Structure 1
Amino acid sequence: MPSNVEIKARVDSVSLLAQKAGALSQSDGTVIKQRDTFFHCSHGRLKLRDFMDGSGQLIFYERPDSDGPKLSRYSISPTSDPQTLREVLSCSLGVKGEVLKERRLFLIGQTRVHLDTVEGLGHFMELEVVMRPDQTVEEGQQVARGLMEQLDISEASLVTGAYMDLLLQTRSAPQTS
């Protein structure tokens, strides 16, 4: 199964981070709109990513819910009919929830840097160091930590879990008046 080392962090200044990522990638990044539908499954996470252009990906992944660079193993299957696939999976597994986001993707070496605006949550950054077959997890973690330093991402801004987990926590938090 392919793997990557990844981190997720809250972002205070979207423009500053975009400027730094743009300089490192020597690009303006690519904007991608996504709707991720998460389904109930017995282990790991299963989501359907709809690019809202008639294409999508069914993605299964496993990774620990911890902050800092962590290994994620995943399988991806492309689809040209995400709406019908969503209906089938919804009926068979049940929907855990949906995440709507606008992602700005920067490629820096072997790392995908995502600057995400997530509906209902705010602004985040994800690093995904795409592992080569000959690389160790520790080497991937070193690449991630090096980029964290170059992008000025502090340990205090790191978050655990998936956006879906954060949305579910926000919805279940007691409301104050």
Structure 2
Amino acid sequence: MPANVEIKASVRDVMQLKLRAEELSGSEGTVVRQRDTFFGVQKGRLKVRDFMDGSGQLIFYERPDFDGPKLSNYSISPTNDPEGLTKVLSDALGLVGQVKKERRLYMVGQTRVHVDTVEGLGDFMELEVVMKENQSTEEGVAIAHKLMQDLGVNDGDLIEGAYMDLLLIKRKCHNGHI
């Protein structure tokens, strides 16, 4: 199963982060609009990523929920019918929720740097160090920490969990359950 080391952080100054990411990647990045629909599963997370252009991906992943660098194992299968697949999986497994975001993707070495604007949450940065065969988790963590420093991201900005988790917590708070 492919793996990557991930870091997710909230962003205080999105323009400054984009400038640093542009400098490090040597590009203006690529804008990607996504709607991720999550389904009820016994372990890990299962989602359909709809690129809203008729293409998408079915993604299963497992990773621990703590802030800082973490190893994520994943499987991806492309689909030409993300809406149909979403309907079938919703009927079969139950819908957990949706995350809508605009993502700017920069490549820095073996790392995908995402600057995300998430509907209902705000601005975030996500690093995905794509692990090479026989590369240790410790090497991936070191790459992530160095890039965090280069991008000006502080340990205090790190968040745990997925955007879906943050949206569910926000919904509970808004409904007065917490």
TM-score range (shorter-chain normalised) is: over 0.9
Aligned equivalents of 1:152, 1:46: Cα separation in 2: 32
Q: Give the deviation of 1:69 after TM superposition.
A: 0.5
Match of 2:2 in 1: 2
Q: Which runs of structure 2 are paired with 1:149-160 in the superposition (5 Å)? A: 149-160=149-160
Match of 1:124 in 2: 124
Q: Give the deviation of 1:134 after TM superposition.
A: 1.5
Q: Deviations over 1:19-59 (max 9, x none)?
A: 00000000000000000000000000001000000000000
Aligned equivalents of 1:63, 1:8: Cα separation in 2: 12
Runs of 4+ with deviation above 3 angstroms: none
Q: 1:89 to 1:175 in 2, by over 3 A?
A: closer
Say what the alpha-carbon RMSD is for the aligned residues.
0.9
Aligned equivalents of 1:69, 1:125: Cα separation in 2: 13
Q: Deviations over 1:143-170 (max 9, x none)?
A: 0000001001000000000000000000
TM-score (norm 2): 0.97
Match of 1:62 in 2: 62
Match of 2:134 in 1: 134
Q: Give the deviation of 1:175 after TM superposition.
A: 5.9
TM-score (norm 1): 0.98
Match of 1:76 in 2: 76
Aligned equivalents of 2:3, 2:170: Cα separation in 1: 29
1:89 matched to 2:92: no
Aligned equivalents of 2:175, 2:4: Cα separation in 1: 37
Unaligned runs of 5+ in 1: none
Unaligned runs of 5+ in 2: none
Identity %: 63
SS in 2 for 1:90: helix
Match of 1:39 in 2: 39
SS in 1 for 2:113: strand
Q: Give the deviation of 1:174 after TM superposition.
A: 4.9
The count of corresponding residues between Structure 1 and Structure 2 is 176
